[in-house]
Amino acid sequence: MSQRFASVFDWLPKLRLRRKGSQPPSAARPDSPSATRPQRRWWSDTRVVFGVLLVVGCMLIGVRLFSTGSDEVEVWQVQRDLAAGAELSIEDLAPIAVSPQLAAHYFPVDVIPDRPIFTSVLAGELLDPNNFRQEVTETLRRVTVPVEPLHAPVNLAPGDLVDLWSTPDVDLGARVQPELVLAGQLVVGVDIDARGFASDYGVVLEIDQADAGAVLAAVRSGQIDLVGVPLADRQPAYSSDTTVVAPS
């Protein structure tokens, strides 16, 4: 065999390898080492640290809220407007929970005052010891006036203020001007069950001793009308829909 044919046979194996897409063993690439990532400490991750602090903070806030709620103290809150001189009843009061710092300035629910209030109190206000009269005024007197139905405010109750008007008895058909006898008098009692002549019921007013004669003369000489006097138009210091916060 000539040298020309020998070179062809040497070239054929290389051609077969190229057709199969492989390379000769001498051209194979060496294996690369596997990649490794450095391990990161969890406490050095700001996201993890922030998440832990957030959870701990929420837990502390919840514990604080529960502990604050359990320390509240109940005091009395007035349920309707009361004028100066009125005597309180249990129906006029309702308990409300406040902080211990604020409760120290008001009546606790285990104490019901038995003295007339000295200043007007609006519905929703907390019952303050400064609202009460320390001494009974010697010049005050109480008188019962007969009132016909529909000649006094509806739902008249102790603690309300009224103006006392008198209309003299005259012949039918005559026009008579009513006269104001007393203004801004305190109602201390209403006895609807004690019916008198013409279905009158009794209303007890607290008046000054010097005005007793004028009231009695008005009762004897004419028809009595009581006109309701609203208390001062101001907002109460606290209400049942408002969250009470202790002063700093």
What mean pLDDT is reported for the chain? 75
Tokens 């044919």 label which residue? 5
* Comparison of pLDDT for 178 and 113, the residue scoring more: 178
- At residue 114, the pLDDT reads 77
Report pLDDT for 171. 66
Q: What is the distance between the terminal CA atoms of the chain, rounded to a whole angstrom?
A: 117
Sequence-ordered strand ranges (E) for 114-200: 140-147, 161-168, 179-195
- pLDDT of 212 reads 92
Give the model's pLDDT for residue 244.
Answer: 39
pTM attached to this predicted model: 0.51
The answer, yes or no, to whether residue 240 has pLDDT greater than 70, is no
Q: Could you give the angle at the alpha carbon of 153 between the alpha carbons of 144 and 197, nearest 5°?
A: 45
Q: Tell me the β-bridge partners of 204.
A: 144, 189
Domain 43-136: give its CATH architecture: Alpha-Beta Complex (3.90)
Q: How many CB atoms lie within 10 A of CB 3?
A: 6
* CA atoms of 102 and 104, how far apart (whole Å): 5
Instruction: Tell me what percent of the residues of the chain surpass a pLDDT of 90.
Output: 14
Encode pLDDT of 119-169 as tens digits: 778 888 888 877 776 555 678 888 999 998 889 998 888 888 899 999 987
State mean pLDDT over 63-83: 76
Which amino acid does the sequence have at 1? M
Q: Given a cut of 80, is residue 222 above it in pLDDT? A: yes
Confidence of residue 74 (pLDDT cuts 50, 70, 90): confident
Strand partners, 156: none
> pLDDT tens digits, residue range 94-121?
998 888 888 888 888 888 887 778 777 8
pLDDT recorded at residue 33: 63
- pLDDT score of 190: 86
pLDDT at 247: 35
Q: Evaluate if residue 71 carries a pLDDT over 80.
A: no
221, HSE (Cβ side, Cα atoms, 13 Å): 13
Q: Residue for token digits 């309702």?
A: 94
CB 176 within 8 A of CB 170: yes
Residue 102's H or E segment, with its range, is helix 100-103
Each domain of the chain, given as residue ranges in start order, spans 43-136, 140-229
Cβ atoms of 120 and 77 within 8 Å: the answer is: no
- SS3 category, 219: helix
The secondary structure of residue 92, as a DSSP letter, is G
